Structure 1
Amino acid sequence: MTASTPPPAAGRVIADDAETLTVAAALAAEFRTGAAERDAERRLPRAELDRLSASGLLAVTVPAEHGGADVSQQTLAEMFRLLAAADPSLAQIPQSHFVYVNVLRRQGTSRQQKFFFGEVLAGRRFGNAQSEAGTKHVQDIRTRLTPAPDGGRLLTGVKHCSTGALFAHWIPVLARADDDELHVAYVPSDAPGVRVVDDWDGMGQRTTASGTVHLDAVPVPADRIVPHHLTFRGPQLHGAVAQLLHTAIDVGIAAGALAEAADFVRTRSRPWFESGVDTASEDPLLIQRFGELAVRVRAAEALLVTAARAVDTATGAGLNDENTAEASIAVAAAKAFAAEAAVEVAGALFEVAGTRSALDSLNLHRYWRDARTHTLHDPARWKIQHIGRYVLSGVRPPRHGLL
């Protein structure tokens, strides 16, 4: 168990998409240094997250009318790709932050939006308390909001794989109310009855601290609860936006692994004696394999851009059944491909770099561990099913928020 997260230093306010990418690229270069050591030692990136908060990047989706840059989804996806190529664990931590900013955009009252968007602009972070263990399936949410004598609610339950909660100022909690409908309760991380346990022991994404959140009759004022179930009553992009960011993380892992492999072969590898060349980078078989891997990465990057543009197009045109279905399918295609590419390229790093690359001291296996762990987040096989039904029969994807 850890102490509550201290308030951040005052953050800057980023003006637009161009500044977002400039700041993201600079921070990614900074975070790349030390990423291998943080993973090997499981040293949690508190200082790096504070830098992220202070940079203004966590507020770039705040609507313009509330003082934010309100950047496009294409820019947001590229920001995540840049960060993930440098440090996939660090990139995953704010994914839920942006998801729950989006929940407020969709269902928050004007008063809730004014308050929470102000918090985000000040550099405060949202975590995640969503998944539960031991239930029938991922949507079998048993955490409850029950009436309290003061007119508010009491929040009780246990959440697992709560990425970002350990570092959060606010923890959005997915729970069911008396009507059995889904709501999101925004709870201060230091609220009475909240206990965040750093018990994450995944083989990859090791420094995400995706541990357990215990909620024991946590008091929640009524104006800190958002009716999330209403999001799915009509055309929506909640799942598409969330999955787009996961896709960007996978694409970033693939790109990072490819860059690491190329650097290793150029600077540390010896040519195979039968190749007849002086350096490994001149080996025609290695050149061929790098070309194949580069095609996979470029294809994943292109699908990511296509998916992000589809989300932006639907948002700009006004959400309807047709354009939200197109956007969800585009994101599903990008995510399914990126998941395969990340695992393949991260594994091929050893194939092209040779025996020495397997030394544990180099920690090059972090790319494969991160890819293999992160791509288990939700099954690509079901995305392929929905894509197939859409292409063959015109069946629109479901509105369950996971596609």
Structure 2
Amino acid sequence: MIRVLASVDPAIAQIPQGHFLVVDILAVWGGPAIRTRVFADALAGRRIGSALAERGGRHAQDLTTRLRMGGNGELRLNGRKYYCTGALTAAWVAVSALDDEDRLRLALVPRDAAGSAVDTDWSAMGQRATISGTTTLEAVVVDPELVLDYATAYSVPQQLGARAQLVHTAIETGIARGTVDDTRAYLRERARPSSEAIRAGVESVAGDPHVLHRYGRLSVRVRAAETLLADAAQLLEQVGLVPPDATAAATGSLAVAAAKAFASEVAVEAGSELFALCGTSATDERWNLHRHWRNARTHSVHDPVDWKYHHLGAYEIGDVLPPNHGQL
């Protein structure tokens, strides 16, 4: 379903990604109290947004957001998060923070909690409708029942990361499919043969051997991305959310890594090939075809594909499991 949605609007398809991740976390690590409260809202159609990433640190895991116990016995959140996909229109926001002992926690707070503000300062060139801007937390009171030991969730073999990455893979694959479909439509309905093609005796785009070759190659690569996505999804179902060991976790994680790395490359390639195939007229703003490349390029740098290929090679050649108990 995410793939189908992303073929039309990948930003909308990305909005529930954090929701699915938090639901998985609660299903495995949440106690009865937090599951009862949050799952009831989820079943009623209310979403969970994510506030996990930050800007300005030395690295992506260098968090400054803090969950502190006050003198009055209240837990309070203070910090500033970015890339908060889905938070603007969510009922709950999942916030990662370090506690008094510098241990990683995950706190769920109501979207409209006092001291919480979600901004619309997302200004990326693509995936614009995700509105993945800043969430500011100033002395936000947190119910202790809505706090999870987030560090523990990733300290054992699991598929949380792989399942989250599977959604991102579906988004990239959907972008690629939407792009190749729009390319086909433009070639059939609007494109004209180039001057070089006319001199070679080509009367229509459908008779241009170079167009047919490049489109055919692109179409096959998109189908390959869809197949890798389907295979990875099937494998994750077999492995389960809580695999028996790190090797089983690695099997699922590496399958998703391969699918995501390939889909990310194909989606960007498709966005560029569209113009090479359709010509200058396709760059007209009224067609808005450049959205495909912008969305693919923006989303594809979510995490580096080079490391995915690295871990795939390390496992295939040297039997080296990915880090984090088999998770990428």
For Structure 1 versus Structure 2, the TM-score category normalised by the shorter chain is over 0.9
Amino acid at match of 1:332: A
Aligned counterpart, 1:220: 142
Give the conservation status (yes or no) of the 8 Å contact 1:243–1:402.
no
Q: Does the CA-based 8 Å contact 1:236-1:399 persist in structure 2?
A: no
**Displacement of 1:360 after TM fit?**
1.6
Amino acid across the alignment from 1:161: Y
Specify every segment of 5 or more residues in structure 1 that has no aligned partner in the other structure, as ranges.
1-78
Shift of 1:361: 2.1
Amino acid at match of 1:127: G
> Which residue number corresponds to residue 3 of structure 2?
81
Relative to 1, partners in 2 of residues 1:274 and 1:105: Cα closer, same or farther, differing over 3 Å? farther
Q: From 142, 155, 160, give the equivalent of 2:82.
A: 160
* 89, 107, 114: which one aligns with 1:185: 107
Distance 1:212 1:317, change over 3 A: closer
Match of 2:34 in 1: 112
Deviation larger for 319-328 or 347-356: 319-328
User: Is residue 2:251 matched to residue 1:329?
Assistant: no
Counterpart position of 1:246:
168
Check the 8 A contact 1:158/1:214 in 2, yes or no.
yes
Larger mean Cα displacement after TM superposition, 140-149 or 203-212: 140-149
How far does the alpha carbon of each residue in 1:288-312 deviate from its partner, in whole angstroms, 9 at most, with x for none? 1111001110111111111112211
- Provide the C-alpha distance between the structure 1 equivalents of 2:219 and 2:66, rounded to a whole number of angstroms: 48
Cross-structure match for 1:142: 64
Over residues 70-108 of structure 1, what are the superposed CA-to-partner deviations in whole Å (9 max), with x where a residue is unaligned? Answer: xxxxxxxxx110110010111111111111111111210
Aligned to 1:91: 13
In structure 2, the partner of 1:360 is: 285
Equivalence for 1:61: none
The answer on whether the counterparts of 2:68 and 2:100 sit within 8 Å (CA) in structure 1 is yes
Match 1:231 to one of 126, 137, 153: 153
Does residue 1:125 correspond to 2:47, yes or no? yes
1:197 to 109, 114, 119: 119
- Identify which of 301, 307, 311 aligns with 1:376: 301
> Given residue 328 of structure 1, which amino acid in structure 2 is its aligned partner?
S
Residue identity opposite 1:193 in structure 2: G
Q: CA deviation at 1:152?
A: 4.0
Structure 2 CA distance for aligned equivalents of residues 151 and 269 of structure 1: 68
Specify the alignment match of 2:94 in structure 1: 172
Greater Cα shift, 368-377 or 133-142: 133-142
Whether 1:339 and 2:264 are equivalent positions in the alignment is: yes
Assess if the C-alpha contact under 8 Å between 2:159 and 2:243 holds in 1.
no
Structure 1 residue 159 displacement after superposition:
0.3
- What TM-score, normalized to structure 1? 0.78
- Contact 2:246 2:326 (8 Å CA) reproduced: no
SS of equivalent residue, structure 1 residue 270:
coil
- Mapped to 1, the partners of 2:228 and 2:81 lie a distance apart of 33
- The whole-number CA distance in structure 2 between the counterparts of 1:267 and 1:303 is 31
Equivalent residues in 2 for 1:54-65, closer than 5 Å: none
1:265 to 187, 192, 201: 187
1:362 Cα offset (Å)? 1.5
- Choose 333-342 or 173-182, whichever is displaced more: 173-182
Report the CA distance shift for 1:150/1:109 in structure 2 as closer, same or farther (over 3 A).
farther
Question: In 2, are the aligned partners of 1:204 and 1:372 still within 8 Å (CA)?
Answer: yes
Counterpart CA distance in 1 for 2:245 and 2:325 is: 16
Residues 275 and 283 of structure 1 are in contact (CA less than 8 Å); yes or no, is this contact kept in structure 2? no
Q: How far did 1:317 drift?
A: 8.6
C-alpha distance in 1, partners of 2:78/2:7?
37
C-alpha RMSD of the superposition: 1.6
- Distance in 1, matches of 2:250 and 2:315, equals 9
- SS in structure 2 opposite 1:334? helix
Partner-residue secondary structure (3-state), 1:319: coil
Cα shift at 1:389: 1.2
Kept in 1, the 8 Å contact 2:158–2:327? The answer is no
- Maintained 8 Å contact 2:159/2:242: no
CA displacement at 1:278 relative to structure 2: 3.6
SS of equivalent to 1:161: coil
CA distance in 1, matches of 2:181, 2:326: 33
1:385 matched to 2:310: yes
Equivalence for 2:227: 302
Q: Which residue identity does 2:187 align to in structure 1?
A: V
TM norm structure 2: 0.95
| 1:201 counterpart SS class | coil
Give per-residue Cα distances to partners, 1:97-120, cap 9 Å, x unaligned: 111111111210022112211110
Equivalent residues, number: 325
8 Å contact 2:6–2:175 — kept in the other structure?
yes
Please say if residues 250 and 326 of structure 2, whose CA atoms lie closer than 8 Å, have aligned partners that are also in contact. no
Q: Secondary structure at the match of 2:141?
A: strand
What does 1:265-284 align with in structure 2 at a 5 Å threshold? 265-272=187-194, 273-284=198-209
Asked if 2 retains the 8 angstrom alpha-carbon contact of 1:232 and 1:401, the reply is: no
Per the TM alignment, residue 171 of structure 1 is displaced from its structure 2 partner at its CA by 0.7
Query: Alpha-carbon deviation of 1:391?
Result: 1.1
**1:207 aligned to 104, 116, 129, which one?**
129
Report how far residue 276 of structure 1 moved: 2.9
CA shift digits 1:28-73 (9 cap, x unpaired) = xxxxxxxxxxxxxxxxxxxxxxxxxxxxxxxxxxxxxxxxxxxxxx
Q: CA deviation at 1:316?
A: 7.6
Give runs of ≥4 in structure 1 deviating > 6 Å. Answer: none
List alignment gaps of at least 5 residues for structure 2. Answer: none
